[in-house]
Amino acid sequence: MTLSYREMAAGDINKPVQERKRVDSKTRNTSSTRLRAMHDLLLAKYGEQRWWPARSQFEVILGAYLTQNTAWTSVERSLANLRAAGAMTVDGIRHAEIQELTEWIRPSGFHTRKAPAIKAFIELLDRNFKGSLAKMRRTPTAILRPQLLALPGVGPETADAILLYAFGHPVPVADEYFRRIADRHGLIPSKGVRLRYDDLTKLTDQAFAHEPKDKRAGQFNEFHALIVAVGKAHCSRTPDCAHCPLRYDLRRAHTDQQT
Ligand code: SF4
């Protein structure tokens, strides 16, 4: 018989899952320690992931838009179209007609929404940063992040992916895999409610809080990539806990819920 992750966490298939407690600082400290241990184990097992899979800073930015609600294989087809059209540059997108941009990125889906969103990014770049990615990159996170978030088609995950992977700002990124893992391991009590993005990134921040600040961006970079790696390999809608390296933590999750 294959046990579910809840059953593994409970250690007894007949026990009901414990109701989760409120987030308090003690829980968060415990969870951040566990999360850090999970990261260290994944790093030892999978090695450095060296993200983002892109050839240039601007390609990272385009990829962050294109990957929304889409598998990376589809993104690669769009990126190949952009390359073939010679449009994989700020100038290339700036001078492209919206119809041709829409056509190039069609393989990654939601192209009628993503094309104007990418154009809006270029408008922001031209308006506030004189068209310079270097100038945008040098802008403090606290000033740049709200500007990115104000753009159409940019939520926290896209904004943070651009900040971290294109510009090297030390901000954590949380995605659906991390949300699922944090929920299944009870790292943040949810009471059945979808975990908030900000709670996920705060927890990541805490997991690396004792590291030197200049190392933080590199660690957030690897952390997110490792979470995606384990998520893809094991933590899909139907979790494969039996073969997952993070299985050891499920019993810890149950212990924490009981104390
Ligand atoms: S991360 Fe691994 S052990 Fe944890 S719930 Fe997902 S598949 Fe199971």
Annotated domain spans of the chain: 5-49+172-258, 57-166
- Per-residue pLDDT tens digits for 155-192: 999 999 999 999 999 999 999 999 999 999 999 988 88
CB 234 near ligand 1, within 6 Å: yes
- Give tens-digit pLDDT for 81-117: 999 999 999 999 999 999 999 999 999 999 999 999 9
Instruction: Give, using CA atoms, the residue closest to atom 6 of ligand 1.
Output: 235
Cβ(250) – ligand 1 distance below 6 Å:
yes
CATH number (1.10.540.10, 1.10.340.30, 3.90.550.10, 1.10.10.10) of 57-166 reads 1.10.340.30
CA–CA distances in Å: residue 183 to residues 32, 179, 191: 14, 6, 10
**Domain spanning 5-49+172-258, CATH class:** mainly alpha
Q: Is 140 exposed, middle or buried (0-12, 13-18, 19+ CB in 10 A)?
A: exposed
How far is it, in rounded angstroms, from Cα 234 to Cα 176?
14
Task: Give the residue among 31, 72, 76, 39 at the shortest CA–CA distance from 259.
Answer: 31
Residue 46 has which token pair?
Answer: 């999978």
181 lines ligand 1 (CB under 6 A): yes
Q: Is 5 in the pocket of ligand 1 (CB under 6 A)?
A: yes
Q: What angle do CA 68, 229, 165 make, to 5 degrees?
A: 55
Ligand 1 center–CA 241 separation, angstroms: 5
Give, for ligand 1, the residue of 2, 4, 5, 232 to mutate: max count of ligand atoms closer than 8 Å to Cβ: 5
Percent of the chain with pLDDT over 90: 82
Residue 185, ligand 1, Cβ within 6 A: yes
